[in-house]
Structure 1
Amino acid sequence: MKKTQLARQLLEQVSRWLPHKPVEVVADCAYSCREVLRHLPPGVVFVGAMRADSTLHRPRTRPCRSPATGRLLTKDILLPKPEKIARDDKHPWLSMTLTLYGATTQVQYKELVARWYRSAGKLLLKIVLVKVPRGELSLRVFFCTDLSRTARQVIEDHGSRWGIEVLFRDLKQLLGFASSRARSPLAVLRTAPWVGVCYTLLVLWYMELGWDTSRMGLPLRPWCRTKHTVSFADILRLAQRTLASVDWVDPRLLLARLPQPTSRPRPRAA
């Protein structure tokens, strides 16, 4: 089964779990496809990305006849591709300041409402073109199935998925989620929740410590001299150093080192 088919089944399952709750899905180009977009459950808002050479159409707002045959035209109007719209000086670039990846960024953009028949069918999409000053791609094209969303919301929502991408990267490369040896059905079902619980406990443990970054002993990398924040790899390294000094042979000594909970005074009876 393809990953896009699994994504479609996952959306349908979540929609059944939350029948009266709004659900928002943020995905990259790989999942912004026909298999997912044409089978979105009701109440699901999809924010994704498309190629700069995608074919777009605009619905007709008034009846029009063909000048050659006189027949009534019913097909949508073919629009220029996003890469051509970006070069069109008739539609100037707009500018705004927003927060992306934790930093304030100045963004130039264009927006329109159109249909993307190849993947989304007749569904109207809010499409936002963003000029990229650096990188391999000079233009990024994002879209949203909710036409009431502003361009700021579409761009920031798509940027918010980066934290989820980093989470899966850490689960696979640092906690061994990608190299699990589980074979039985129950073991496979337990692996992902268990790895997620371990990740959550480690992050909460570090937040409970409240350590300053200078006390972490962050490694000095010649290729990254501007690192001032703590990553999950640093938290995992700190946990490994902490657990390495613990005496696991005698459980009583281990329990004796744990901080004792403070007892709260019981209220007196009247």
Structure 2
Amino acid sequence: MRSSKEFFVKTSGLRWVSMMLLAPIPWARWVWALPFLNVLAPSERYYEQRGWRHKKITDWGRQMIRQLRRWLPDRYLVVVADSSYAVLELPACAAGLLAPVTVITRLWLDAALYDPAPVRKPGTNGRPRKKGACQPTLQARLVDPKTNWEALPVAWYGGQQRLVEVASGTAIWYHNGLPPVPICWVLLRDPQSHFSPQALLRTDQAISPTQIIEWFVLRWQVELTFHEVRTHLGVETQRQWSDLAILRTTPALLGLFSLRTLFAQTLFDGKPLPERQSAWYIKALPTFADTLAFVRQQLWPVTLFGMSPAKPDMVEIPRALLDRLTDTLALAA
């Protein structure tokens, strides 16, 4: 929160790499990010103190993509990642699998892009070429008057429609020692200059520029999930000193976000969820707090190991009062 472009603030803590499913939630009429695979990525100092080789978050990301492909060998997968994963190794790994995984992430404006390698002529000696002629950088295309810009309306942050100018093309992203990766790049800028020009890449050339932008915008739902689990499920409030407890608790709490959502999906069965209103806060759509309260209302009255005989009208206090207390506490907890 205190960092800026000129001043970077960091503090000690645990860094988690979380893979989430971007799923449309019917009663919320929005897309939520549901965590299902989380790994702890220790710092470089942690590895140095133990004499181990440092494992970067991009290494963890590649391993998680491979694991996801093993779980879902026949499903078409699209992984959307932020700028921390804008390195050649990640799309190279995803594109090199037997069943390739599509990667969408940012692309540096000064990235080295090339034309495809020319067709090898018969009788040519030496190793085949991996790339062709060097293309202009995306930074150069921004200021080139010959760049062909197209105005496109896209679904933007906050559910708004926004008009952006887009230029796109294909290239080979290559660096010495790594396999060449065919990509499609998308360069976008704001006609009103409200945000700086930026570039995105995709490894599946069949995806349209509009779709890649809208999928990348949905990545922001990951940040909203982190906010919800900190606010309602106690993430970052744990006080454990055991390594195993640290490794288990945060993934369990993140998984609880998805589990509660699945419970609600089963209980609603296509019915809308009435959102709670207050005099000082008017909500247009139900939130995770409403979902959490609804699931609590269904679970708390259930008596699994009751020793007293069942009394449908009285449970030590009047049933109406118990329901009222349950309803109040479900929202307050």
> Normalized against structure 2, the TM-score is what?
0.58
Counterpart in the other structure of 1:148: 206
For the 8 Å contact 1:93–1:109, the answer to whether it is kept is yes
Take 1:88 and 1:156, find their aligned partners in 2: how far apart are those partners?
Answer: 26
> Which of 94, 117, 123 is equivalent to 2:150?
94
Opposite residue 77 of structure 2, the aligned amino acid is V
Counterpart in the other structure of 1:268: none
Counterpart in the other structure of 1:223: none
* CA pair 234-216 structure 1, distance change in 2 beyond 3 A: farther
* CA pair 105-91 structure 1, distance change in 2 beyond 3 A: same
Give the drift of 1:167. Answer: 0.9
Counterpart in the other structure of 2:223: 165
For the 8 Å contact 1:7–1:36, the answer to whether it is kept is yes
2:97 is aligned with 1:43: no
Give the drift of 1:233. Answer: 8.0
Give the drift of 1:196. Answer: 3.7
For the 8 Å contact 2:92–2:180, the answer to whether it is kept is no
2:82 is aligned with 1:20: no
Structure 1 vs Structure 2: percent identity of aligned residues?
21
Unaligned runs of 5+ in 1: 65-72, 220-226, 260-270
For the 8 Å contact 2:58–2:85, the answer to whether it is kept is yes
Give the drift of 1:94. Answer: 0.6
Take 2:245 and 2:318, find their aligned partners in 1: how far apart are those partners?
Answer: 32
Take 2:185 and 2:134, find their aligned partners in 1: how far apart are those partners?
Answer: 15
Opposite residue 124 of structure 1, the aligned amino acid is P
Give the drift of 1:104. Answer: 1.5
Give the drift of 1:21. Answer: 1.4
2:249 is aligned with 1:193: no
Give the drift of 1:192. Answer: 2.3
> Which of 80, 84, 99 is equivalent to 2:136?
80
State the SS of the aligned residue for 2:236: helix
For the 8 Å contact 1:115–1:121, the answer to whether it is kept is no
Give the drift of 1:85. Answer: 0.6
Unaligned runs of 5+ in 2: 1-54, 122-127, 307-314, 325-333
> Which of 94, 101, 108 is equivalent to 2:165?
108
Opposite residue 83 of structure 2, the aligned amino acid is C
Please tell me the root mean square deviation across aligned C-alpha atoms, in Å: 3.9
Give the drift of 1:15. Answer: 0.9
> Normalized against structure 1, the TM-score is what?
0.70
The structure whose RCO (Cα within 8 Å, separation 6+) is larger is: 2
For the 8 Å contact 1:52–1:139, the answer to whether it is kept is no
